[in-house]
Structure 1
Amino acid sequence: MSSSRVHVYTVFGLLLALRLVNASSVQTFFQPDEYFQSLEPAWQIAFGKDAGAWITWEWREHLRSSLHPMLFAAVYRGAAQLCDLLQIAEGSRTVILLAAPKIFQACIAAAALNYWPWQWSLVTEQSKVEPPPSNTDFDPTKMVRQFKSSPDQTDDAVTDPLSLTSAPAGLYISLSLAAVACILRPTNIIIWTAIAICLLGRNVDLQKTTTLISSVVLCGGSVLAFTLSLDRAYYGEWVFPPFKFLYFNIVQAVSGFYGHNRVDYYFTEGLPLLLTTTLPFATIGLWQSLRPGMDRTMLRGYVERQTRVVLAVAIITTVLAMTMISHKEMRFIYPLLPMLHILAARPVASFFGAVPANRVKLGFILFLLIINICIAGYVTLVHQRGVIDVMHYLRREQEGRMLGNGNNVTIGFLMPCHSTPWRSHLVYPEIKAWALTCEPPLNLGVDERNRYEDEADVFYNDPASWIDANLKDRKSMSLTDSEVLEPRAGDEARRDWPEYLVFFEHLELITSVVVRDTRYQECWRTFNTHWHDDGRRRGDVVVWCVPRNMAG
């Protein structure tokens, strides 16, 4: 094995170790989708419909492919069976179930672009390789052999630029992974379409174009057939989630129900948040990749430059396309991050040099590292950790009941919808819980939908009225009245008061007034955020409960 190959595996091993540490150390909440579009359906697949998983409307309307949760379901089942085999105690079993998907995700994170055979797909003309020296015979085959045997060449997929009859193995791997990415997130089609158009636009050779198209059909068709079969098994009928996803989010504009953003969002907020301190270098790298210039005469330099051009076009195309959608989030452009880092690498290396001898530059590097470490530490261990910690608290409360043969925990979450994880962190199906919902009105037109208020909106407009309309008579939770009350009209259709009420500090004043004359009292509180763009989610996470010696 060549020394360069050893270096590649060493770097890969270090990055994998870093991701494993990072995944295991995350104690915070990022987006509801990281739970409700993967772990919740996976929990139901693994442990059954009675396991208490929260299945959102997207799954009922067949917008999502079952491929992603199927992977996590296999992890859950494997972890559970291992725990059963080793007879691991219930508390330790819960820890393993919480950690299993994190470890799995850390191991499979990759970019399909890594396997794309850039040399094969970009080298099309003999004149683009190396012009023949004057007064000498030019042998392109000899040149390619020299290039392939050079000590700094690590890609085994390099082929003779004049041999276009077969596709390198890396092409099939890359296209298969790209197909999976597009199934999981249909908007990834934009990235790969941009790459394909750039390459087909340059590759005027019919034979290579035919090879590329046939490879796309083979890999894409195989992945599509596999995922369609999975979705048939999951949904019980033949469905095509990518079409439903695009139809609901673009044609019916359902995504707009979750908010509208400024046109410049990705340029002024999305990309800066995504790149942080690498934003200037990525911007320079993007400009350098697209500026006119002479191609280098050597094959490696030519392929490198054209690769950067393709990546730059894919980035710009994707950002502009996503800008046209009214609902915008930073995570929608997250797949662009590896490409942005590739473009930023050259300006970074050029600015700092291999070994910075300049003390100012060395100090600047340390400054940037410290900033990034602080940001990573803050968002991993501090920002929005309360909504995770409260689930651990409630789960441990249930574990205590199970050891003492007590009543099962009941919980009501008076928070904006999907503010916490669900069964993937509550774990025990014996825990009976409910939360405010925000299902979109799919049967309404766009104008009516914009005026529609979901359950969470109605609650925050007037919490006291919502509680009176949806929970049984507050007198049943009175501190002083121990007599059996006559049921209030309509109470048979209302929810029972739960033992635990969970809400953000922002709601504490209102809640304390509503339950002032009841047996509820604060029993737990934890820090959640220093700031939040949603005012309803600011402050600590607070739990009020009925003390067990006072519970009915």
Structure 2
Amino acid sequence: MESIRSRLKLGNKAAEVKLRKRKSRLYSNEDESDNGALGAKVVVFSVVFRLINCFLVRTSFVPDEYWQSLEVSHRMVFDYGYSTWEWKAGIRGFFYPLLFAVIYKILHVINCDSVHLLIWLPRMFQALLAAFADAKFFFLVRALESRDAATWTFFCQLCSWFSWYCCTRTLTNSMETTVTGLALAYFPLPGSKTHSSKKYLSLVALAVVVRPTALIVWFPLLIYHFWKEDRKLRLITHEVIPIGAAAVVISTVLDCIFYEKWTVVQFNFLKFNIFHGVADFYGSHPWHWYFTQGFAVVIGPHLPLFLHGCTLAYKKYKVLLVAVVWTLLVYSFLPHKEFRFIYPVLPFCMLFCGISLARLKAWRRAAALALLLSNLAGALYTGLVHQRGALDVMTHVQTLCDVHSFSSPPLPDVLFLMPCHSTPFYSFVHCPMKMRILECPPDLGEDDYVNEADRFYDDPLHWLRTSFPYKSSQPTHLVMFDVLEKEISVFLQTNNFVRTAEIFHTHFPEGRVGRSIFIYERN
């Protein structure tokens, strides 16, 4: 009887084990289906959100979003345009403009190269990349933290006014930040289940090719990985060296092809910006600027949540916090400072903000609502209002291509009497009309060097009279900020220039940049 009972007990236990296995399989299948459905929702929402983001940013930020990307791409494909001094000195790489040149070439081949598509398709491409990075960031945090923390981190990421303002722009900083976010998804953070050295190192190499300063952000992270790695020699010989060498070779070959001479862009970039101090030409700030102003502006209303999150998750994610502080410190030693330079560390900060919101509990909804409204106000104002005239004026200039016949005079001849590179150029006009800007390359060692823009602003009236002594040599159209109008009013009246358009630009005019942009046409 005892043997029979023991057999029955063993049979029951086996049945229970089988039942548990079936239940676990069922639950795991349900979890996988839930995760799959959640993943699809996150991806779709990210794509829709960033495309809306793309079309609600209609302002100008910095000249580089056009002059170091779209203008170069337009010249590569359509064989006319303007190249700034950086492309003549060989300090910019062709990889990033080549991405948009491919888009332009396809449009040209299928005869769909309208100016609207040339403007918006690169922006949409950048928006889709940003959406993919947002989704990967959510899945990363979901693997590291609770679903609640991942959701609030995702919320913080999408709420950020600075990400809204920058991520869809054709800036190398935007691409650098997007690729950095993707690389972080494969980095060996504590608790990460998606770690892949080859994937994240390849993405880091891509970020450095796009913008060499990406190495600043990744330096402490690379040191951390090397310190934690058990097989250090294998990491260096089998992954770091091959991937790094391949990136340098590919980028160098591309640059040599398009520059038509031997050019190592990374070396030239360091030589001009660090050793020759050319970056100082574009302005300088005190060493503490990033700590007292820059970082607070970039992170915006998230700052209290970031500081709170640091107290909660410092031990677990101290490598990310070190990367943020390290980046701010290194950039603080460089005289020329801009908000966009520290944009790549913003996703790191969002992780701490999400953890903070997830832990607030009672105050969570109020904090989230305040975060949403404050960021929304900043995002919409900077995206739709502040400095929009730089783009709107090019819409007016582009109409000259339609109303003038290029087979008979007078041919359009547009002179931009504005601070250097204040507006986009041929990539926003897409017709070979004559256009000219005030030249302003930095001093590369010439004696008594003064750039054309400074000579003009020293005495605008004298410059115009000496540059255009005869009416036949004068441009047909002048584009200027309103602050210049009074100084050259005599020239305008004498030569029958009539104002044909007034375009709002900013509520915060400063120096040579005015509140509005005027277009004058010569009768």
Shift of 1:4: 2.3
* 8 Å contact from structure 1 (residues 28, 383) kept in 2: yes
* Partner residue of 2:469 out of 462, 467, 472: 472
* CA distance 1:458–1:117, change in 2 (3 Å): closer
Inter-partner Cα distance in structure 2 for 1:528 and 1:454: 25
**Corresponding residue for residue 99 of structure 1:** 120
* 8 Å contact from structure 1 (residues 414, 502) kept in 2: yes
* Partner residue of 2:501 out of 520, 524, 534: 524
SS at 1:37 equivalent? helix
Query: What is the one-letter code of the residue matched to 1:535?
Result: G
Query: What is the one-letter code of the residue matched to 1:322?
Result: Y
Shift of 1:379: 1.0
**Corresponding residue for residue 492 of structure 1:** none
SS at 2:346 equivalent? helix
* CA distance 1:335–1:438, change in 2 (3 Å): same
Inter-partner Cα distance in structure 2 for 1:73 and 1:517: 44
Query: What is the one-letter code of the residue matched to 2:455?
Result: V
Shift of 1:349: 2.2
* CA distance 1:404–1:471, change in 2 (3 Å): closer
**Corresponding residue for residue 426 of structure 2:** 423
- 1:13-52 alignment to 2 at 5 Å? 13-48=44-79, 51=80
Shift of 1:156: 5.6
* 8 Å contact from structure 2 (residues 357, 368) kept in 1: no
Shift of 1:439: 0.3
* CA distance 1:342–1:209, change in 2 (3 Å): farther
**Corresponding residue for residue 156 of structure 2:** none
**Corresponding residue for residue 77 of structure 1:** 105
Inter-partner Cα distance in structure 1 for 2:185 and 2:47: 23
* 8 Å contact from structure 2 (residues 187, 197) kept in 1: no
Inter-partner Cα distance in structure 2 for 1:6 and 1:371: 31
* CA distance 1:114–1:518, change in 2 (3 Å): closer
* CA distance 1:99–1:119, change in 2 (3 Å): closer
**Corresponding residue for residue 483 of structure 1:** none
1:370 maps to 2:394: no
* 8 Å contact from structure 1 (residues 179, 223) kept in 2: yes
- Cα deviation, 1:404-439, whole Å, max 9, x if unaligned, reads 97643110111000000011112111x101111110
* Partner residue of 1:515 out of 486, 492, 497: 492
Inter-partner Cα distance in structure 1 for 2:449 and 2:303: 38
* 8 Å contact from structure 2 (residues 217, 327) kept in 1: yes
* CA distance 1:75–1:313, change in 2 (3 Å): same
1:279 maps to 2:279: no
Query: What is the one-letter code of the residue matched to 1:413?
Result: F
Shift of 1:362: 3.4
- Cα deviation, 1:29-81, whole Å, max 9, x if unaligned, reads 11000011111111111112xx2x11111111110111001111001111222
* CA distance 1:120–1:542, change in 2 (3 Å): closer
* CA distance 1:545–1:216, change in 2 (3 Å): same
Query: What is the one-letter code of the residue matched to 1:396?
Result: T
**Corresponding residue for residue 482 of structure 2:** 505
* CA distance 1:237–1:541, change in 2 (3 Å): same
Inter-partner Cα distance in structure 2 for 1:102 and 1:345: 28
Query: What is the one-letter code of the residue matched to 1:420?
Result: T
**Corresponding residue for residue 346 of structure 2:** 337
* Partner residue of 2:200 out of 174, 194, 197: 174
Inter-partner Cα distance in structure 2 for 1:405 and 1:497: 17
* Partner residue of 1:54 out of 82, 85, 92: 82
**Corresponding residue for residue 214 of structure 2:** 188
* CA distance 1:329–1:3, change in 2 (3 Å): same
Query: What is the one-letter code of the residue matched to 1:68?
Result: Y
Query: What is the one-letter code of the residue matched to 2:490?
Result: V
Quote the sequence identity (%).
31
* 8 Å contact from structure 1 (residues 384, 528) kept in 2: yes
- 1:280-319 alignment to 2 at 5 Å? 280-290=304-314, 305=316, 308-319=317-328
* 8 Å contact from structure 1 (residues 66, 234) kept in 2: yes
**Corresponding residue for residue 270 of structure 2:** 246
Query: What is the one-letter code of the residue matched to 1:211?
Result: L
- Cα deviation, 1:363-420, whole Å, max 9, x if unaligned, reads 4432331221121111111111111111100101221224997643110111000000
SS at 1:498 equivalent? coil
**Corresponding residue for residue 442 of structure 1:** 444
Unaligned runs of 5+ in 1: 124-154, 158-167, 294-304, 478-495, 548-552
1:63 maps to 2:91: yes
Inter-partner Cα distance in structure 1 for 2:440 and 2:310: 39
Q: What is the TM-score when the length of structure 1 is the normalising length?
A: 0.76
Query: What is the one-letter code of the residue matched to 1:433?
Result: M
Q: Tell me whether 459-468 or 417-426 shows the greater mean CA deviation.
A: 459-468
Over the aligned positions, Cα root-mean-square deviation in angstroms equals 2.3
Inter-partner Cα distance in structure 1 for 2:193 and 2:33: 11
* Partner residue of 2:402 out of 381, 399, 406: 399
Q: Tell me whether 508-517 or 398-407 shows the greater mean CA deviation.
A: 398-407
1:433 maps to 2:421: no
- Cα deviation, 1:229-255, whole Å, max 9, x if unaligned, reads 111211112211111101110111110
Inter-partner Cα distance in structure 1 for 2:181 and 2:487: 52
Inter-partner Cα distance in structure 2 for 1:121 and 1:14: 26
* CA distance 1:72–1:117, change in 2 (3 Å): closer
Inter-partner Cα distance in structure 2 for 1:280 and 1:315: 16
* 8 Å contact from structure 2 (residues 298, 339) kept in 1: yes
* 8 Å contact from structure 1 (residues 116, 171) kept in 2: no
SS at 1:510 equivalent? coil
* 8 Å contact from structure 1 (residues 113, 174) kept in 2: no
Query: What is the one-letter code of the residue matched to 1:185?
Result: R
Greater fraction helix: 2
Q: What is the TM-score when the length of structure 2 is the normalising length?
A: 0.80
* 8 Å contact from structure 1 (residues 65, 231) kept in 2: yes
SS at 1:545 equivalent? strand
* CA distance 1:416–1:119, change in 2 (3 Å): closer
* Partner residue of 2:43 out of 8, 12, 17: 12
Unaligned runs of 5+ in 2: 1-31, 131-177
**Corresponding residue for residue 136 of structure 1:** none
* CA distance 1:453–1:319, change in 2 (3 Å): same
Inter-partner Cα distance in structure 1 for 2:88 and 2:182: 35
* 8 Å contact from structure 2 (residues 182, 203) kept in 1: no
Q: How many residues align?
A: 445
Inter-partner Cα distance in structure 2 for 1:390 and 1:458: 24
Shift of 1:2: 4.0
- Cα deviation, 1:183-217, whole Å, max 9, x if unaligned, reads 221111111111011222334x2x25522553112
* 8 Å contact from structure 1 (residues 25, 381) kept in 2: yes
SS at 1:543 equivalent? strand
Query: What is the one-letter code of the residue matched to 2:479?
Result: V
